Amino acid sequence: MLAVESAVAKTGKYAVPESGDSAEVVERPRGGMSLIVVDGQRSGRAAKAVSHLVIRKAASLILEGVRDGAAARASSDSLLVSRRGQVSADLTVLSADMDTRSIVITRNTPCPVLVVRGGERQIIDEPSCPLGTGRSVRPQVTELPLEEGLLIVTFTDGVWEAGLLSTRPQGVPDWILAEVAVPATGPLPLADAILAAAVARDQGRPRDDMTVAVMAIRQNGEGPNVRRLHVVFPVPY
């Protein structure tokens, strides 16, 4: 039997107590799960408030059965009204939809999404606008068949731009591709490895909030009704 596994690894900007990135996993009402990642503009407490606003809106709508694209648009409108267009947020939603037996990738971010299946790589990086920037904001949506061996990796711009001082990279950086090419035991070790490499590229002092999210479709060796959620949350001093 196939199983959907997802994992998130994240850290905040160096010397900033609160991360502007937020991540949430929700169960879809007709079966499956959605992994939501939001990057609030800038960093710190203000960015955290923005990412929380967006992720609460998106998660609540998905839980009500609203399609991911519509949830993204509604979240954008909510942010636009509440912050008067002065603040934006990047959004990525990875959904395993059991109703359609598909993987749905919804993007409102410049950061690409990496898809690996059958040893082939696909980079999803079509232009998409951040949320909260106007009434015309539309998500970029990609739908793929749910099949064994599928691996999806997404990340916020702190990871994407790690080690760079000026220009943004094109597509997925080679160092991320190298981490994905190393055989991993599951999504969590891969997310941890990419995050660790990103922090190292910033000399151990992340210049921005960093989040890595991974979803994989693999064979499940356990019973069909076994589900797990594993969370590690550090306690601040």
- pLDDT tens digit sequence for 166-207: 778 889 999 999 999 987 778 999 999 999 999 999 999 999
95-107 per-position pLDDT tens digit: 999 999 999 999 9
For residue 179, CA distances in Å to 172, 173, 218, 227 come to 11, 10, 19, 27
Give the Cα separation of 20 and 174 in Å (integer): 26
Phi and psi of 136, rounded to 5°? Answer: -90, 5
Which residues on adjacent β-strands are paired with residue 58?
A: none
Edge-to-edge order in the sheet of strand 210-219: 2-11, 210-219, 151-155, 113-117, 120-124
pLDDT single digits (tens) 92-150? 999 999 999 999 999 999 999 999 998 899 999 999 999 999 999 999 999 999 999 99
Torsion of CA 145, 146, 149, 155, to 10 degrees: 90
Round to whole Å and give the CA distance between 152 and 6: 9
**Residue 220: what residue type?**
N
DSSP H helical ranges for 86-133: none
> What DSSP assignment string belongs to 126-182?
---PPBTS-TT---EEEEEE--TT-EEEEE-HHHHTTT-SSSPPSSS-HHHHHHHHS
pLDDT of residue 224: 64
- The predicted model scores a pTM of 0.95
118 versus 60: the higher-pLDDT residue is 60
Phi, psi of 84 (to 5 degrees): 55, 35
Q: What's the pLDDT at 223?
A: 63
- Domains (ranges, CATH) in the chain? 2-219 (3.60.40.10)
Q: Give me the sheet containing 89-97, strands edge to edge.
A: 21-27, 32-40, 89-97, 102-108, 140-145
pLDDT, residue 222, reads 65
The confidence band for 229, taking pLDDT boundaries of 50, 70 and 90, is confident
Give me the amino acid identity at 193.
Answer: A
